[in-house]
Amino acid sequence: MMRQGILLLVLFLGLFSANHVTATAYFVNKQGSDTFSGRYADEAFLTVQRGLDVLEAGDTLTIGPGEYAESVEREDLGSLAVDTVIRAEFPGTVFLRGDVPAPDFKPVAGYRFVYAAPFAQTPQSVFEHNHLRVLFPKANVSELEFEPGFFHYDAEQQMLYISNRNFSGPEQGRYTISITDTHGFALKRAKRVLIEGISTSGFHPGWGILLTDPEQCVVRDCRSYLNTGGIQLGPDSDVIGDPAGSNNLIDNCTCYGNSFGGIVRYGANNDTIQNCYTYKNIKEGSEHFGIMHYSTMHGALQLKNNRSWGIIMSFL
């Protein structure tokens, strides 16, 4: 009888061990180093990407306050058996940025409304923060005089030209320049991952937060502004209409000043978007949205207690 009991105990411990996921806490902050262990706040990593790289299912990554000039991505993170958490230490204090401050612009001789500044990197877009506008490129400088609210970049001369929509001088506003052509925070095929309290800005033509083919993921208390789009959940392919994950939640997020849309779900399947705010997601002469669904619905999409304004075309 005792031998049988021991065998049962060994079997139980084996099954428990097979299903048990060991959770580890990791940290990122501006005082850290990617050569550190990341296991404690005083041994934190320096970059968010390094923190994402080491995560396993069930782990928690806590990110300290500050601006992080990086775009991050990860594939196949998480498991449906356990929560995997990526969180700001203090919600709203963690910023992933794809832009840099603009140089000082000076008037261009021969033009009334065109201003220029040296700039050594190829700009993806120019952001006008005071009006929450994305400036798009034009083929030559002359067009800026007669169609304001755009920019032109002379790569040979490494000179950036802009004109304001209201013909005012650049000293009347604040500008930053997108220098990356990818997304801010991107997860592919994530499972039961919680993203909490993170802000993204300056990613154009990318999205602030992009989850492709996510399962049971949560995006909560996040902010995304002045990107192509704020938050997108969609398929892990270029084919709109393909399966795109299921049972996800976007909760209490704010998206504004993006040129295409605030929050977009492609191919919903039992998902929920709730308690969110979207506003002034605007691009002249093109579609722009607050909260929208697009393509085949594989299951229900619940929209609850959301607010959207300052947008001409909204599918909220």
Residue 192 pLDDT > 90: yes
The pLDDT of residue 17: 45
Q: End-to-end CA distance of the chain, in Å?
A: 66
The pLDDT of residue 239: 75
Residue 188 pLDDT > 70: yes
Question: Which token pair is 14?
Answer: 């084996």
- 193 burial via Cβ count (<10 Å: 0-12, 13-18, 19+): buried
Cα four-point dihedral sign 254, 49, 232, 221: negative
The pLDDT of residue 8: 47
Residue 112's CB is within 10 A of a number of other CB atoms, namely 9
Q: How far apart are CA 224 and CA 256, in angstroms?
A: 7
The pLDDT of residue 312: 62
DSSP state of 71: -
**Element holding 264 (H helix, E strand):** strand 261-266
Looking at residue 139, its amino acid is A
Band (pLDDT 50/70/90 cuts) for residue 119 is very high
Give the residue-averaged pLDDT of 184-206.
98
**Window from 9-18, 242-251, 271-280 with minimum mean pLDDT:** 9-18
The pLDDT of residue 310: 82
Residue 274 pLDDT > 70: yes
Question: Which token pair is 254?
Answer: 């704010």
Looking at residue 72, its amino acid is V
Give the residue-averaged pLDDT of 55-79.
99
Residue intervals in the chain for CATH 2.160.20.10: 17-97+181-309
Give the residue-averaged pLDDT of 3-15.
48
The pLDDT of residue 4: 54
pLDDT tens string 145-181: 999 999 999 999 999 999 998 889 999 899 999 999 9
Q: How are beta strands 150-154 and 159-162 bridged, if at all?
A: antiparallel
Give the residue-averaged pLDDT of 204-222.
98
Query: Among 31, 36, 78, which Cα is nearest to 58's?
Result: 78
Question: Which token pair is 27?
Answer: 């940290």
The pLDDT of residue 240: 73
Q: Which CATH architecture has domain 17-97+181-309?
A: 3 Solenoid (2.160)
pTM: 0.91
Q: How far apart are CA 250 and CA 245, in angstroms?
A: 14
Length of the chain: 316
Residue 22 pLDDT > 60: yes
3-state class (DSSP) for residue 51: helix
Torsion of CA 75, 81, 86, 89, to 10 degrees: -170
**Window from 59-73, 127-141, 301-315 with minimum mean pLDDT:** 301-315
The pLDDT of residue 12: 46
